[in-house]
Amino acid sequence: MPPQYQAAITGLGAYVPEKVLTNFDLEKMVDTTDEWIRTRTGIRERRIAAKGQSASDLGVRAGMEAIQDAGLTPKDIDLIIVATVTPDMAFPSTACYIQTKIGADCGAFDMAAACSGFPYALAVGESFIRSGRYQHILVIGSEVLSGFIDWTDRSTCVLFGDGAGAAVVSRSNHESHGIIATHLGSDGSQADLLQIPAGGSMNPPSEETIRNRMHFLKMQGSEVFKIAVRTMEYAVKEVLKAGHLQLSDIDCLIPHQANMRILQAVTERLELSPEKVFINVERYGNMSSASTIVALYEAVKTGKVKKGSNIILVAFGGGLTWASTLIHW
Ligand code: UT7
């Protein structure tokens, strides 16, 4: 058996674009109201990338902060993994753009697991550390969803925002410290519930796909809502089982931030105290793969997650995919 090393998050970074789009701004764009958006989703505002700002630009800002927070330089990074469904281009990968922009000298690739992207990428990074192959991996979730949203569709355009978060995952000498367990799942039979139908090899971009607005994100919201609640509860329980812990051992749940009502329903079903659930959906909306890592960043920086805390990241999204990570901070 090769040696097994422990993996821990040693640095965190986050970046959201400066431009704030409020619910009141959206009232002027589509037939909606601040009241509807707030009561149905909990969202008050979201960030929108500037013209020309791509997923790699956001990822560089978050990634550099995480590298500095870990006390490292880009040359110390052995691998870059970027979770995104809004890459700079179909190829080359957004990770390659980030590698050159930060001046790292290592392998780099993208992963697509939609809103579950960050915990998925973290699981891959953790495995490279555990195997002993690498010492420091930069894991980024970065999205510029604003370029893939149909700004005439009120059922989706009010929900999403742009942002990026990053973590450095490093080899740790403390056996009980770091990533304790991971659970990953998918159900591709439900792919049509949440997707960008055109632009890939199934529906290559054409005048027709553009005319039919197939290059924009489509979601069957109420169906996704119900499955999200059930699945996030399940993913939390599965990762607890894998880590041999009880829910009462958990100090903070960091869920994917899609909708306040989903988070409240998951909290109730788990019979978890609401103070133990970190929520920032009101400020950013759903940033897909950036949501859980930006939430973790804020939970740590505001002291909600402290040294010694047991935390769970849990995410659910298009694919369908879901993922959960149990971490002893
Ligand atoms: O990140 C991956 C996971 N994503 C999610 O988890 C998102 C899951 N889904 C949701 O968050 C919710 O389903 C939504 C917020 C998208 C929608 O909330 P809902 O309570 O499921 O509403 P609904 O889709 O059933 O729509 C209710 C009504 C409809 O009108 P009618 O047909 O009842 O007359 C919609 O047309 O609300 C209408 N509506 C709106 N009204 C004002 C939909 N969007 C809007 C809007 N403003 N922006």
Residue nearest to atom 17 of ligand 1 (CA): 221
Contact 237, 204 (CB under 8 A): no
Residue nearest to atom 8 of ligand 1 (CA): 225
Mean pLDDT on 49-53: 97
Helix (H, G, I), strand (E, B) or coil at 179: strand
- CA-CA distance, 23 to 26, in Å (whole number)? 5
Residues 101-136: pLDDT tens digits? Answer: 999 999 999 999 999 999 999 999 999 999 999 999
* Every domain range in the chain assigned CATH 3.40.47.10: 6-176, 179-328
Residue nearest to atom 41 of ligand 1 (CA): 32
Residue nearest to atom 12 of ligand 1 (CA): 221
Q: Which residue reads 């040294």 in tokens?
A: 307
- Report how far ligand 1's centroid is from the alpha carbon of 164 (Å): 25
User: Residue by residue, what is the 3-state secondary structure of 209-256?
Assistant: HHHCCCCCCEECHHHHHHHHHHHHHHHHHHHHHHHCCCHHHCCEEEEC
Contact 26, 37 (CB under 8 A): yes
- Report how far ligand 1's centroid is from the alpha carbon of 79 (Å): 39
- 309 phi and psi angles, rounded to 5 deg: -70, 145
Confidence at 173, pLDDT banded by 50, 70, 90: confident
Residue nearest to atom 38 of ligand 1 (CA): 155
Contact 108, 135 (CB under 8 A): no
Q: What is the pLDDT of residue 2?
A: 54
Please give all residues whose beta carbon lies within 6 A of any atom in ligand 1, as ranges: 32, 36-37, 40-41, 115, 154-155, 158-159, 221-222, 224-225, 228, 258-259, 262, 286, 316-317
- Report how far ligand 1's centroid is from the alpha carbon of 208 (Å): 27
- The catalytic position among 259, 280, 286, 310 is 286
Average pLDDT, the chain: 97
Taking the CA of residue 157 as reference, the ligand 1 atom at the shortest distance is 48
Residues 179-328, CATH architecture: 3-Layer(aba) Sandwich (3.40)
- Report how far ligand 1's centroid is from the alpha carbon of 188 (Å): 23
Q: Is 157 a catalytic residue?
A: no
Taking the CA of residue 318 as reference, the ligand 1 atom at the shortest distance is 2
CATH 3.10.690.10 fits 6-176, yes or no: no
Residues 93-102: pLDDT tens digits? Answer: 999 999 999 9
Q: Which of 21, 40, 148, 159 to mutate to test the pocket of ligand 1 (most atoms within 8 A of CB)?
A: 40
Q: Which residue reads 């367990």 in tokens?
A: 181
Percentage of the chain modeled with pLDDT above 90 = 97
Helix (H, G, I), strand (E, B) or coil at 162: coil
Mean pLDDT on 26-34: 98
- The catalytic position among 256, 259, 280, 310 is 256
CA nearest neighbour of 251 among 293, 301, 202, 308: 308
CA angle 185, 121, 104 (to 5 degrees): 170
Residues 176-205: pLDDT tens digits? Answer: 789 999 999 999 999 999 999 999 999 999
Q: What is the pLDDT of residue 329?
A: 96
Residues 231-271: pLDDT tens digits? Answer: 999 999 999 999 999 999 999 999 999 999 999 999 999 99
Q: Which of 25, 225, 316, 320 to mutate to test the pocket of ligand 1 (most atoms within 8 A of CB)?
A: 225
- The DSSP element (H or E) to which 97 belongs, if any, is helix 94-102
The sign one gets for the Cα dihedral 237, 241, 244, 246 is: positive
32 pLDDT above the threshold of 90: yes
Cis ω on the peptide bond leading into residue 320 (within 30° of 0)?
yes
Q: Is 183 a catalytic residue?
A: no
- CA-CA distance, 50 to 320, in Å (whole number)? 30
Q: Is 203 a catalytic residue?
A: no
- Report how far ligand 1's centroid is from the alpha carbon of 32 (Å): 11
pTM: 0.97
Q: What is the pLDDT of residue 3?
A: 59
Cα–Cα distance list, 278 to 58, 128, 255, 294 (Å): 23, 28, 7, 11
Give me the count of residues in the chain.
329
Cα–Cα distance list, 29 to 68, 146, 151 (Å): 40, 14, 8
- The catalytic position among 23, 96, 115, 183 is 115
